[in-house]
Amino acid sequence: MTKDELASLVRQIVADHKSDKDAGYYSVAAVSDLYQRLSETDQAQLRDYLLEKVEHEDSELWGVALEVLTRHSNREIAQRLEKLARSTQALPFKQQLIRALLRMGHEALDLYLPHIQSLIAQHQPVCAELAHLYRVSPASSLDISAGFFANELSTADGIHRTEYCVPVFVHNYPQVDESSLAMLVSETRKLNPTAAAELRRIILDYLDKPWVAEDLGSEKRNRVFASLANET
C-alpha cells in the first residue's frame, strides 16, 4: 500500500467520525485498529505520515495522529517528537507533545522538568505531567509531586482540586510500582503532615471506586489499597 493510499484511509476515517463530538476518541481507535492490521512496511509508512501531520500541526489530523503515535511508539517516533517539542514556540502544542513523550516513557528530563516547574509556578494544571513523569524518573516525580500536594492541600479549594487530580496518579503510579502511592504520601508527610493525611484519604476514597478495580485489576488494587492503609 502506498503512503497516499494510507493517507486517504486516515482522512476518510477522520471524516467519517467528524460529527461524533467525542474529542477524536473513535477516530483514534479506528486509525489504531488500521495500524495494527497493516504489514510492518505499511506500518512504517503510516507512522511517517502521522509524524508529518504532527510536525506540520495539521489542524484536522495532528491530535489524532499524536495519540495514535503515542499508543504505538518507538524510539524513532519519540526522538522526532522530542525534537519538535524543543523547537516549537506554541505552548499548548508543546504541552501536548511533552505529555505524549512522558506517556511513552521517553527520557528527556532537561525538557520535562523546566516545563513542569513553569506550569506549577503559573498555577496551571500539571497533574498529568507529574503522574506520567513517574515512568521516566520516579525520584523526580515523587519529589516534585510531594511539594505540589503539600502546597495544594493547604486550602479548601486545593483539596477540591486534588480530588480531580488524584485519578491520574492512581491509574499511572501503580503500573510502575505498587508501593508508589504510599511513597508519595510518605514524601508529602515530610513537608506537610496535614496535607499528607488529606492526600491519603483522597487516594483511598478513589481506590474504593468500582472502576478502579477494573482498570488496575482487583488483586493489584487490593495490594495498593493495603500499602496505603498500612502507611503511617
The separation between CA 14 and the C-alpha centre of its own chain, rounded to angstroms, equals 23
pTM: 0.91
* Residues composing the chain: 232
- Whether the CB-CB separation of 38 and 28 falls below 8 Å is answered with no
Q: What is the CA radius of gyration of the chain?
A: 20
pLDDT for residue 25: 85
pLDDT for residue 162: 95
Q: How far apart are CA 116 and CA 95, in angstroms?
A: 10
Q: Which residues have a Cβ under 8 Å from the Cβ of 224 and sit 6 or more positions away?
A: 170, 174, 178, 181, 207, 216
Answer whether residue 16 shows pLDDT above 80: yes
Residue 201 neighbours by CB distance under 10 Å: 13
Which among 81, 85, 12 is positioned nearest to 47, based on CA atoms?
A: 81
- Whether the CB-CB separation of 17 and 26 falls below 8 Å is answered with yes
Which among 173, 172, 161, 159 is positioned nearest to 201, based on CA atoms?
A: 159
- Whether the CB-CB separation of 98 and 129 falls below 8 Å is answered with yes
Answer whether residue 103 shows pLDDT above 80: yes
Q: How far apart are CA 153 and CA 195, in angstroms?
A: 5
Q: How far apart are CA 55 and CA 47, in angstroms?
A: 12
Q: How far apart are CA 111 and CA 69, in angstroms?
A: 20
Handedness of CA 18, 125, 100, 203 (dihedral sign): negative
DSSP SS3 for 230: coil
Mean pLDDT of 167-181: 96
As a 3-state breakdown, the chain gives helix, strand, coil percent values, each rounded to 5, of 80, 0, 20
Percentage of the residues of the chain whose pLDDT score is greater than 70: 98
pLDDT for residue 192: 97
- Work out the pLDDT band at 20, boundaries 50, 70, 90: low
E strands, the chain, are none
